[in-house]
């Protein structure tokens, strides 16, 4: 199908965004989440009686290529405040030949303040689905050998609608052509492990759920039903005894590590994903019938000194 998908930041939680920006979406599973309630009356028949629509909210997921502007646009949707870096730089993040311009740190209150509109247009049939009041409950960023760097967003929102009379105006993303690939990404944990790493997966689960009230089928609130959980999954391209031993020792001792994913675009823009405090939860030898492989699972923990578990750094390469 000929689809176009855009996202915009709303000024109010229940009002459609006025500016919609097209993302480089590769997969879309946007859909309504409905609760149909059946009558359980004794109706003098063995057949089920009537039913009604009790609630309908926005749900599903999208996966898109990661660009600098995509990250800046979407960070507030999963709780990260984006601020400008002033000079002199006091961020504590030092990268040779990189000038930082923006930082994304988790909001101090723990509350996601921003709501988004998502528009999915079917251009062949001149129709669109509009999801309003959306936040992102589960976010995954993945860099894998032989692939584009992607971001997957699990959507939870107040309402889901359909229209066909006139389509929303969707603007092109500013850096639409400057998507990131596996060639642009490196991984560092105590040392540069890029040559050893086949894939990195960073996931943040906000544990969000929609709440409903009387008088409407739409959701009225989005709340958190548990602690925020963040994980980092590493897959290495071959078995490495030293990496296994280090991860195994950390698992037993509880010692934590720091890591960073560094990405540079062809137009000399920089994204750094700083994982400040990683605790190993599992390490395994894999592919035992073949040449041998290695995987490691880590919890991303809240760093009291940094006041955030993850810092997203954006800048320019000198």
- Kindly report, residue by residue over 192-214, the tens digit of the pLDDT: 999 999 999 999 999 999 999 99
Residue 135: its pLDDT value, please?
97
Q: How far apart are CA 146 and CA 127, in angstroms?
A: 35
User: Given this model, what pLDDT does residue 88 score?
Assistant: 59
pLDDT at residue 234 tops 80 = yes
Cα atoms in the 13 Å half-sphere on the side-chain side of 114: 21
User: Mean pLDDT across the stretch 41-61?
Assistant: 94
**Stated pTM of the model:** 0.93
Q: For position 94, what pLDDT does the model report?
A: 81
Q: What is the mean pLDDT of residues 221-233?
A: 95
Over residues 154-207, the pLDDT tens digits come to 999 999 999 998 899 999 999 999 999 999 999 999 999 999 999 999 999 999
Q: Place 318 in a pLDDT band, splitting at 50, 70 and 90.
A: confident
Contact 315, 99 (CB under 8 A): yes
What are the residues whose beta carbons fall under 8 Å from the beta carbon of 285, sequence distance 6 or more? 239, 244, 292, 293, 294
CA distances from 254 to 187, 249, 277, 281, 287 (A): 22, 8, 11, 9, 27
Long-range contacts of the stretch 282-286 (C-beta < 8 A, 24+) = 282/251, 283/244, 283/247, 283/248, 283/251, 285/239, 285/244, 286/239
Mean pLDDT score of the chain: 94
The pLDDT of residue 115: 97
CA distance 274 to 93: 9
Q: Tens digits of per-residue pLDDT, 76-131?
A: 999 999 999 876 566 678 888 899 999 999 998 888 999 999 999 999 999 999 99
Question: 131 exposed, middle or buried (CB, 10 Å; 0-12, 13-18, 19+)?
Answer: buried
State how far the Cα of 187 lies from the Cα of 263, in Å rounded to an integer.
9
Q: How far is CA 148 from the centre of its chain?
A: 15
The whole-number pLDDT of residue 87 equals: 63
Query: What is the structure's pLDDT at 277?
Result: 97
pLDDT at res. 182: 96
The bridge status of strand 170-172 relative to strand 20-22 is parallel
pLDDT the model gives residue 30: 97
Q: What is the pLDDT of residues 13-50, one digit of tens each?
A: 999 999 999 999 999 999 999 999 999 999 899 999 89
Tell me which DSSP letter residue 284 carries: E
**Res 108: pLDDT:** 85
Q: Torsions phi, psi of 250, nearest 5?
A: -65, -35
Please state, for a pLDDT cut of 70, what percent of the chain lies above it.
98
Whole-angstrom distance, CA of residue 128 vs CA of residue 163: 6
């Amino acid at each position: 199908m000929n689809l176009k998908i855009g996202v915009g930041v709303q000024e109010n939680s229940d009002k459609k965004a006025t500016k919609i920006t097209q993302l480089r979406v590769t997969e879309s599973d946007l859909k309504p989440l409905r609760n149909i309630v059946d009558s359980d009356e004794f109706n003098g028949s063995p057949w089920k009686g009537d039913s009604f629509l009790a609630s309908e909210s926005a749900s599903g997921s999208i996966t898109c290529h990661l660009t600098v502007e995509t990250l800046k646009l979407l960070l507030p949707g999963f709780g990260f405040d984006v601020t400008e870096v002033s000079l002199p730089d006091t961020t504590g993040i030092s990268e040779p030949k990189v000038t930082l311009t923006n930082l994304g740190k988790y909001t101090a209150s723990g509350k996601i303040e921003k709501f988004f509109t998502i528009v999915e247009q079917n251009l062949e049939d001149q129709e669109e689905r509009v999801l309003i009041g959306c936040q992102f409950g589960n976010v995954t960023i993945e860099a894998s050998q032989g692939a584009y760097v992607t971001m997957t967003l699990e959507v939870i929102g107040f309402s889901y609608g359909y229209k066909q009379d006139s389509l929303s105006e969707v603007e092109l993303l500013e850096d639409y052509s400057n998507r990131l690939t596996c060639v642009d990404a490196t991984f560092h944990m105590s040392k540069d492990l890029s040559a050893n790493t086949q894939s990195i997966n960073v996931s943040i689960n906000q544990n969000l759920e929609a709440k409903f009230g009387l008088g409407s089928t739409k959701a009225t609130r989005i709340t958190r039903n548990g602690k925020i959980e963040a994980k980092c999954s590493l897959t290495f391209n071959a078995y490495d005894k030293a990496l296994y031993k280090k991860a195994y020792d950390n698992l037993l001792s509880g010692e934590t590590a720091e890591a960073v994913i560094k990405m540079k675009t062809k137009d000399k823009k920089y994204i750094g994903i700083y994982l400040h405090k990683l605790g190993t939860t599992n390490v395994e030898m894999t592919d035992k019938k073949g040449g041998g492989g290695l995987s490691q699972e880590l919890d991303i923990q809240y760093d009291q000194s940094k006041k955030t578990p993850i810092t997203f750094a954006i800048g320019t390469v000198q």
